[in-house]
């Protein structure tokens, strides 16, 4: 194949392609793989029941189903859904938003492609702008989303140790500066891969920095409030004219409907709408049709608070217990799980890279993600990036439990083969 630059750029091996390939192979395979890798949400029976009822209602109610699948929506997204969502965000979060502040996309992954390339890259005057990630590790899916040169400039975090085995990343404001080449700031909250919830105070300070530089502040709320609300600590949802909040139906349990949501100033929403028309004609209408009643009635936030958040809170606790039981006597630190559904585990002075650990585990039927991929835009080679893994603990308990056992066996084997590294494990932060 003789490929253009675009062709080469988007057909090469990428972290996100490997992740989704692993995920596809595991979900369509014989079921023997412990799928602790991709970002699939859990199958929560009560939520699945609600979605099934939503579909039955669509089928029963006149031509509801035919309208949902039989015609194109406009490029901003299903109007009834957008109206209902604006009302929900006003009442639940107190945000001053109307329908003209909301555009839908075909999954928030695509929202990021549009937003990043809209605010960063080569600009009219020939200058190059970047997206600032003030706190890495950060979501793997951002990495390859630029049309041209890599877009990201990233910061190492400050690491606070909370007890013998738990730590939390913070934005390192001492080192953070926003210069004229910065096109936007972006953060995921809760963060994929760490389960970190950037504090209200950190959000305030980042907002102030974006205001000083007159650039947008993108808050990726794929796991956040008001839905799906996979948040175990305090996190006030924030929106104003300068912020762009992105949401999604995926982590409610509907990744298959590919519905992303962008909440932003009117001119930004108009821009997204225009790009939707070019890239997709329209946004998918099935997800909004399925979720409309839940949003209109406000039930979506009650389900998030009463079913989804408690479900993942229990799973997080259980995953922590398994990790502590398996790793006793070996060096490990885990990021405090404050949201989303991942454990981010750091093995200081790990004798092999996390990429090699990933390969060994894959060979044994356990899929995780190597930490290396979660530092887009970080220029220096920081050993920490090779010492961490991300574990998705949301899948069935039996396979997660077996997965933890095998992960610990492989990590212990690596340390046992290089015992001199054990003594160095405290030095590598």
> Helix, strand, or coil here: 108?
helix
Could you tell me if 113 and 260 are in contact, meaning their C-beta atoms sit under 8 angstroms apart? Answer: no
Are β-strands 121-122 and 128-133 bridged in parallel, bridged antiparallel, or unpaired? antiparallel
Instruction: Please provide residue 29's backbone torsions phi and psi, each rounded to the nearest 5 degrees.
Output: -85, -160
Asked if 403 interacts with ligand PLP (CB under 6 A), we say no
Neighbours of 65 (CB within 10 A): 16
Q: Which long-range CB contacts under 8 A does 308-312 form with residues at least 24 apart?
A: 308/44, 308/47, 308/227, 308/228, 308/229, 308/230, 308/252, 308/253, 309/229, 309/230, 309/231, 309/232, 311/42, 311/44, 312/42, 312/230, 312/232, 312/340, 312/341, 312/394
Nearest to 68 by CA among 58, 83, 82: 58
Contact letters for ligand PLP, residues 81-110 (x by CB under 6 A) = --------------------------xxx-
Q: Shortest distance, CB of residue 162 to ligand PLP, whole angstroms?
A: 23
Asked if 220 interacts with ligand PLP (CB under 6 A), we say yes
Q: Which is nearer to ligand PLP, 39 or 331 (CB)?
A: 39
Neighbours of 180 (CB within 10 A): 9
Q: Shortest distance, CB of residue 222 to ligand PLP, whole angstroms?
A: 4
Q: Shortest distance, CB of residue 404 to ligand PLP, whole angstroms?
A: 21
DSSP H helical ranges for 247-379: 266-280, 286-297, 299-303, 309-327, 354-363
Q: Which is nearer to ligand PLP, 136 or 213 (CB)?
A: 136
Asked if 139 interacts with ligand PLP (CB under 6 A), we say yes
Asked if 248 interacts with ligand PLP (CB under 6 A), we say yes
Could you tell me if 159 and 169 are in contact, meaning their C-beta atoms sit under 8 angstroms apart? Answer: yes
Q: Residues 121, 260, 348, 403: which binds ligand PLP (CB under 6 A)? A: 260
Contact letters for ligand PLP, residues 34-73 (x by CB under 6 A) = -----x----------------------------------
Q: Shortest distance, CB of residue 288 to ligand PLP, whole angstroms?
A: 13
Q: In this structure, what DSSP letter does residue 308 have?
A: I
HSE (CB half, 13 Å, CA atoms) of 398?
3
Q: Which is nearer to ligand PLP, 243 or 250 (CB)?
A: 250
Q: Shortest distance, CB of residue 36 to ligand PLP, whole angstroms?
A: 14
Q: Shortest distance, CB of residue 358 to ligand PLP, whole angstroms?
A: 18
Q: Which is nearer to ligand PLP, 118 or 356 (CB)?
A: 118
Q: Shortest distance, CB of residue 426 to ligand PLP, whole angstroms?
A: 31
Asked if 285 interacts with ligand PLP (CB under 6 A), we say no
Could you tell me if 262 and 105 are in contact, meaning their C-beta atoms sit under 8 angstroms apart? Answer: yes
Q: Is the dihedral of CA 232, 255, 86, 57 positive or negative?
A: negative
Asked if 250 interacts with ligand PLP (CB under 6 A), we say yes
- Please give the residues from 153 up to 192 whose contact with ligand PLP meets the rule CB under 6 A: 188, 192
Q: How far is 252 from 311, CA to CA, in rounded Å?
A: 12
Q: Residues 222, 244, 291, 308: which binds ligand PLP (CB under 6 A)? A: 222
Asked if 196 interacts with ligand PLP (CB under 6 A), we say no
Q: In this structure, what DSSP letter does residue 189 have?
A: S
Q: Residues 99, 121, 134, 141: which binds ligand PLP (CB under 6 A)? A: 141
Binding site for ligand PLP (CB under 6 A): 39, 107-109, 139, 141, 188, 192, 220, 222, 248, 250, 255, 260
């Amino acid at each position: 194949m003789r490929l253009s630059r675009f062709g080469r750029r988007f057909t090469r091996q990428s972290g996100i392609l490997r992740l989704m390939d692993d995920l596809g192979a595991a979900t369509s395979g014989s079921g023997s793989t412990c799928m602790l890798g991709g970002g699939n949400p859990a199958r929560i029976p009560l939520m699945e029941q609600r979605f099934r009822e939503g579909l039955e209602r669509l089928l029963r109610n006149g031509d509801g189903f035919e309208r949902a699948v039989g015609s194109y929506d406009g490029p901003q997204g299903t109007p009834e859904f957008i109206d209902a969502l604006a009302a929900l965000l006003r009442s639940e979060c107190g945000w001053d938003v109307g329908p003209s502040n909301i555009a839908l996309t075909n999954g928030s992954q695509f929202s990021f492609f549009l937003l990043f390339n809209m605010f960063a890259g080569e600009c009219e005057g020939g200058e190059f702008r970047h997206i600032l990630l003030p706190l890495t590790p950060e979501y793997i899916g951002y990495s390859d989303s630029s049309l041209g040169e890599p877009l990201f400039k990233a910061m190492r975090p400050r690491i606070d140790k909370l007890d013998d085995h738990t730590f939390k990343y913070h934005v390192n404001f001492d080192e953070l500066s926003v210069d004229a080449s910065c096109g936007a700031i972006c953060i995921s909250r809760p963060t994929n891969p760490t389960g970190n919830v950037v504090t209200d105070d950190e959000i305030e300070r980042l907002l102030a920095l974006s205001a000083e530089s007159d650039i947008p502040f993108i808050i990726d709320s794929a796991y956040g409030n008001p839905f799906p609300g996979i948040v175990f600590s305090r996190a006030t949802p924030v929106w104003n004219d300068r912020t762009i909040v992105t949401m999604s139906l995926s982590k409610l349990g509907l990744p298959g409907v590919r519905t992303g949501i962008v909440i932003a100033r009117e001119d930004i929403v108009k821009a997204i709408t225009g790009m939707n028309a070019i890239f997709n004609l329209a946004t998918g209408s099935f997800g909004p049709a399925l979720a409309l009643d839940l949003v209109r009635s406000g039930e979506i936030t009650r389900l998030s608070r009463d079913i989804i958040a408690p479900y993942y809170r229990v799973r997080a606790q259980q995953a922590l217990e398994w990790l502590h039981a398996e790793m006793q006597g070996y060096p490990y630190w885990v990021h405090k799980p404050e949201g989303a559904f991942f454990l981010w585990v750091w093995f200081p002075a790990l004798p092999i890279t996390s990429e090699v650990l990933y390969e060994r585990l894959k060979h044994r039927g356990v899929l995780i993600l190597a930490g290396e991929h979660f530092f887009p835009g970080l220029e220096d080679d920081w050993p920490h990036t090779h010492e961490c893994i991300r574990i998705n603990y949301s899948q069935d308990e039996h396979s997660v439990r077996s997965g933890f056992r095998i992960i610990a066996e492989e990590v212990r084997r690596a340390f046992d083969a290089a015992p001199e590294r054990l003594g160095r494990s405290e030095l590598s932060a």
